Chain A
Amino acid sequence: MTRPVTWQDDPAHFRRPTRRSFLTVGLVGGLGLSLDQFFRLQAVQANTPGGPKEGPAKSIIHIFLPGGIAHQDFLDPKPLAPVEYRGEIGTTPTKLPGVFFSEYMKHTAQVADKITVCRSMTHGEAAHERGTHNMFTGYRPSPAIIFPSMGSVVSHEFGPRKNLPPYVCIPSLPTTYASSGYLSSAFAPFSLGSDPAAPGFTVQDLKLPNGVDDKRFEKRRSMLEAVNDYFARKEKDDSLKAMDTFYERAYSLISSEQAKNAFNINLEKPELRDAYGRNAAGQRMLLARRLVESGVRFVSLTYGGWDMHNSIKAGMAGSLPQFDQAFAMLIRDLSDRGLLDSTLVMVSSEFGRTPKINGTAGRDHWPKVFSIILAGGGIKKGFIYGASDATATEPEDDPLTVEDMAMTVYHQLGIDGEKKLMSPGSRPIDIVREGTVRKALIA
């Protein structure tokens, strides 16, 4: 006889058939956890010394292209398809024989031997927010629960490294789905609140306020300790301890020159800044590299707006070259510094775009097949994974599901996607529901 299984064990909530063997998970824990208990639990989970070991990828840079970039005008051109499918954008040969990218991807074409392009990404969500949810969380959206983003899961599993926040968003939180979902917002990303491409770029609240130098800050801290002492003796509560933890993290961030420097893009050589491109794409990717180099585990950045329902050629010509320059430079730069093998770079978008050009010379939403890039962090180099059909309409080989994508990324980071996290109401929920690691992607 079995216990009733939990809500998440029903694939109907996820609309995918299940293949995994029978599960017997009961409701565990008390009559709903209080916030305090919740913290205690999470503090334990986050700090267990026997927790996950880092995988080959020590850090990850997630470059998200909001709006849904057209796969056929980006990484998966179909020059032999009829014109209403292939559109007006030409192609460029890459370092891989027989492999072509969009004509605006000339630089990336030259690093094609260092990256893996997946041309068979697929899911069924054609609405922006739902597709975005998929790509940030590895889950289909549910009416009953909000899932944590991959960055928050990484933050939850590993915690901070070298005094730096484990999960950083550049320039700001791109969507609520990039946040901590059912996990405590303690695992939410740290957002810069400012664009590194902007001339006066500073990170929100990282700098001591005007008139306060390190010495005065030290005095403030000792006063604050004096003030906190009374309450700390009087009250014993986990929510206080959690608050203390974040103050400690803030102190180490503020007082560590090294940590603060991680955010200081001005310390990069001007030539390198130029090479990345003095624009949003270039500077965001450069800062992302700086951050992972310094110890940040998960950097999420966005660039551009790709919802090109109209005049897609002009749109792509306007935005894609900057991405191309910056991305190719990022790969080279990571490679030159010996960081590519320990840094997973993922380029994704909420979905692709319709196979046929529409009446306004654009393309509409298309989640059935689209392309993403995975590079470094133990992923194969110079590899094309999966394929779409002749008109880029359906996946032809190795359709890559959201769950498998997430499972593989987690695997490279050293996280077991089958592990369960505790959601409110004591509901244990898998990090990824029924995903499989795609071994073919791994070097």
Chain B
Amino acid sequence: MNRIALLVSLVIVSVSAQAQELTGIEVYPGDINLLTARGRQTFVVQASYADGITRDVTAQCKVTLANPGLAKIDKNLVTPLADGETQLIVEFGGKSKTIPVKVKDAKVDRPISFKLDVMPIFMRAGCNSGGCHGAARGKDGFRLSLFGFDADGDHYRLTRELPGRRINLSLPQESLLIEKALGKVPHTGGARIKEGDPYYHDLIRWIEAKAPNDPATIPTPVGLDIYPKQAVLDGKGELQQMVVRATYSDGTVRDVTSLSLFLSSNDNSAKISDDGLVTANERGEAFVMARFATFTVGAQIIVLPKGLKFTWPNVEERNYIDTLVHNKLKKLRILPGEVCDDETFLRRVYLDIVGVLPTVEEYSKFISSSEPNKRAKLIDELLERKEFAELWVLKWAELLQIRSSQQVSYKAMLLYYEWLQQRIAQNVPVDVWVQELLGASGGTFKNPATNFYQNETDILKLTENVAQVFMGMRIQCAQCHNHPFDRWTMDDYYSFAAFFAQIGRKGTDDPREVIVFNSRGGEVSHPVRGGAMKPKFLGGIEPDLKGEDRRVVLARWLASPENPYFATGLANRVWHHFFGVGIIEEVDDVRISNPASNPELLAELGKRFTSYKYDFKKLVRDICNSRTYQLSTKTNESNEGDTRNFARAYLRRIKAETFLDCISQVTETKNKFPGLPNGARAVQIADGTVSTYFLTTFGRAQRETVCSCEVRLEPTLSQSLHLLNGDATTSRIINGNVIGKRLAENKTIAQIIEELYIRCLSRKPTGAEVAKLVAMVDAEPDKKTALEDVFWSLLNSREFMFNH
């Protein structure tokens, strides 16, 4: 029977393999190192085909060792026999691949280690997860540190907390630890391991060895890799095994596939089993992750409909953005949409670059121009307008939480805002002013950048804010335990916080002003281990402080190419502004388990941004000139489900401030905001605490937190009511009297309707629209009122509220 099944599967493989040409095979990991008699390594073989499909062919390969005396191969598992070096030769479909194999200490047993062998079992079996014993107060009277962030504490709790209860040195099998884990005695978590499985053996072996803790010199994991890094699976039911390998501080490696936790970001497309076997499901993309020790690593899995026919047509690529977006779309077999028409483009760039609508004159000039590069020219023109800077001042003011408060007086807030405005208006490179900001000392009036340290005075919150704003990361989790979905440990967190431990603050003669200075004293200590933490860059080195202000040292690193998150993080924020979706989404939730939809694109944008000396006008120019930005919202069969890969334009509601400015602009009415001259635009409001009913209702950020989620774009009943009945529409239409003026100029009804359409929607009405509306207006005795109703309808139209 088995032979028949094998034969059948071989036939299937060869049939589908015939359909597409095999282009190569890869063996993972790229080398095999077996240390001691307990060394073991699994491997996978991935075949690639001409159409980009990959297949796990491990079971179908011919696998041999150049020197069969050194190791034993059992399916995909290699175990040691004798010391030496040899090669593993893998053959499949006429292709072959050779990887080196090293065996050392094959006859030597490896002693059991608490940290290397036992602790990983607690994580793999779920014992130390947050829902179980990893909870801060433990579970049912027994506590383990969450995901093992405190191994010594766990050793203490197992062996010393209740002596003789949890482990039984004379009868290891009867230890409560074992009986609970097996489910032999009542255990809320049920059976977590099986008698006789490797986990069981390791636990018993540890207790038999008298439950030792490890010497301080025990190696620690320093890296983790998952293989293969990418797979493109051909239809539902396709399988791909993953292999996970850890690297330790002594340079050794271990296969930790059986000790890792696996999860998929999208079970709907790719499920992953506890043993790391991926099963393809519906079309889509998933990121499968393995977690081991403090590391989480991921691989990209693309699932395509079985036997999908796809040919990539010749699509124009205007710059690197298009190339990289298309590369991803090719993998996903998605065709990008068409380029949008001039009217749509015009409205989109105006709203995105300057936050206003094109005037009727600007509209006519652009539409009637026959210059081939008129779009590029318009982008250049708009980038030089002051409204461009204002839009970004607004964005940064949200991130820097510029608002008056108990700590920041109104005057200090205004000075802070002006400081920011000057930097952006003068196009000061972002790294320069961010360094100035983070390293700032002095009075909050004299050096307004110091207000950054007045907005938030709590060291830990400040630390979290800096990480979130300038690195796009939410590291809050690591305040209490190692981040479960990212690489950050408590050590990382508190040594980063140490940069903010020496901020001194003192009053001045003016109660509204505070002086921020380097107090040269104060440390941050680790809440579990105690002891002052040495300042260390998040994801970077421990710098030599040389007696400098810690914040100055940090600022120099943070806003520089040394910090891998700075340029990409800002580029992602810029990208989000122009597409409504970040390459990493949310833009301030960068973590391993929330990967970029297009990492190559993000990396390239970061690289360019750095090479442009952080002049983000140049980055905006690249984005706006790309074909990708200029796509239409119109869908085709393959891109209609796309929401993350930029295969079409997405609808975006216009944000509160810009929306109000657009209404003022088209109705020719003025706004009055507290502290600003009559006629000011909503984007110019300096103080986050200043708002209006309109702005609050349409989701203006209150700047209470640095979170990008403060800007809300969802519809509400109050919004609809306000546009239908509120003073934002009817009274503005009357007060601005645009209709009255046009009637006085003896414009026809059709002409006025056309102008209103251009004003509000940046397009001419269709023939049908003109006919319908003219008829409706004609039917009314009072033309002015009827035309005002047309205007009102345009302000209430979905097309007006959305950037499309």
Q: State in angstroms the CA–CA spacing of A176 and B704 once bound together.
A: 11
Residue of A32, A185, A234 near B716 (CB, 8 A) is A185
* Contact (A11, B136) CB under 8 Å given A31-B266, A237-B651: yes
* Contact (A227, B799) CB under 8 Å given A5-B130, A22-B189, A219-B776: yes
Interchain CB contact under 8 A, B130 and A10: yes
Compute the total of residue contacts between A and B using a CB distance below 8 Å. 244
* Contact (A30, B284) CB under 8 Å given A18-B139, A204-B721, A425-B594: yes
- What residues of chain B lie closer than 8 Å to A18, measured between beta carbons? 131, 135, 139
Residue of B586, B704, B719 near A246 (CB, 8 A) is B719
Q: Name the residue of chain A whose CB is nearest to the CB of B790.
A: A223
Residue of B269, B585, B796, B804 near A32 (CB, 8 A) is B585
1/0 contact string of A1-22 vs chain B (CB within 8 Å): 1111101011111010110011
- What residues of chain A lie closer than 8 Å to B287, measured between beta carbons? 31
* Contact (A209, B146) CB under 8 Å given A1-B124, A226-B776: no
1/0 contact string of A225-258 vs chain B (CB within 8 Å): 0111111101111011011111101100110000
- What residues of chain B lie closer than 8 Å to A226, measured between beta carbons? 769, 772-773, 776, 793
Residue of B586, B597, B717 near A249 (CB, 8 A) is B717
Q: Is A144 an interface residue (CB 8 A)?
A: yes
1/0 contact string of B768-802 vs chain A (CB within 8 Å): 01001100100010000110011011101111011
Which A residues between 23 and 67 are near B, CB-CB below 8 angstroms? Answer: 23, 26-32, 34-37, 39
Interchain CB contact under 8 A, A227 and B721: no
- Give the size range of A's interface with the partner: 35 or more
Stretch at the interface among B57-65, B553-561, B599-607, B723-731: B723-731
Interchain CB contact under 8 A, A209 and B789: no
Stretch at the interface among B15-23, B352-360, B474-482: B474-482
1/0 contact string of A134-173 vs chain B (CB within 8 Å): 0000000001100000000000000000000100000000
Q: State in angstroms the CA–CA spacing of A7 and B769 once bound together.
A: 52
Q: Name the residue of chain B whose CB is nearest to the CB of A22.
A: B189
- What residues of chain B lie closer than 8 Å to A144, measured between beta carbons? 474, 476-477
Shortest beta-carbon distance, A23 to chain B, in Å? 5
- What residues of chain B lie closer than 8 Å to A294, measured between beta carbons? none
The listed residue with most A CB atoms (<10 A of its CB), out of B146, B476, B717, B731, is B717
- What residues of chain A lie closer than 8 Å to B709, measured between beta carbons? 424
Q: Name the residue of chain B whose CB is nearest to the CB of A11.
A: B135
Stretch at the interface among A105-113, A188-196, A322-330, A343-351: A188-196
Q: State in angstroms the CA–CA spacing of A23 and B268 once bound together.
A: 21
Q: State in angstroms the CA–CA spacing of A242 and B719 once bound together.
A: 12
Q: Is A186 an interface residue (CB 8 A)?
A: yes
Q: Is A440 an interface residue (CB 8 A)?
A: no
Shortest beta-carbon distance, B708 to chain A, in Å? 11
Interchain CB contact under 8 A, A31 and B716: no
1/0 contact string of B113-147 vs chain A (CB within 8 Å): 00000000000111001111011110100000010
- What residues of chain A lie closer than 8 Å to B776, measured between beta carbons? 219, 222-223, 226
Q: Is A208 an interface residue (CB 8 A)?
A: yes
* Contact (A11, B137) CB under 8 Å given A2-B126, A4-B484, A31-B266: yes
Q: Is A198 an interface residue (CB 8 A)?
A: no
Interchain CB contact under 8 A, A27 and B265: yes
Shortest beta-carbon distance, A430 to chain B, in Å? 12
Q: Is B564 an interface residue (CB 8 A)?
A: no
- What residues of chain A lie closer than 8 Å to B714, measured between beta carbons? 35, 39, 184-186, 239, 242
- What residues of chain B lie closer than 8 Å to A7, measured between beta carbons? 130, 477, 484
Q: Which 4 A-B pairs have the closest CB atoms?
A: A10-B130, A12-B136, A1-B274, A2-B126
If A143-B479, A250-B721 are given as contacts, then 19 extra A-B residue pairs at C-beta distance below 8 Å, sorted by A number, are: A4-B126, A5-B131, A12-B136, A30-B266, A36-B643, A190-B718, A191-B718, A204-B718, A205-B721, A219-B776, A226-B772, A226-B793, A230-B766, A236-B635, A237-B633, A239-B715, A240-B798, A242-B715, A250-B717
Q: Can you report 19 A-B residue pairs in the complex whose CB atoms are below 8 A from each other?
A: A2-B125, A4-B291, A9-B130, A22-B190, A23-B131, A29-B268, A32-B594, A185-B712, A186-B714, A205-B722, A209-B725, A209-B731, A223-B789, A223-B793, A232-B798, A234-B633, A235-B798, A247-B720, A254-B724
B residues whose Cβ falls under 8 Å from a Cβ of A: 124-126, 129-132, 134-137, 139, 146, 188-190, 192, 261, 263-269, 274, 284-287, 291, 474, 476-477, 479-481, 484, 581, 585-586, 589, 593-595, 597, 633-635, 640, 643-644, 650-651, 653, 693, 699, 702, 704, 709, 712-722, 724-727, 730-731, 766, 769, 772-773, 776, 780, 785-786, 789-790, 792-794, 796-799, 801-802, 804
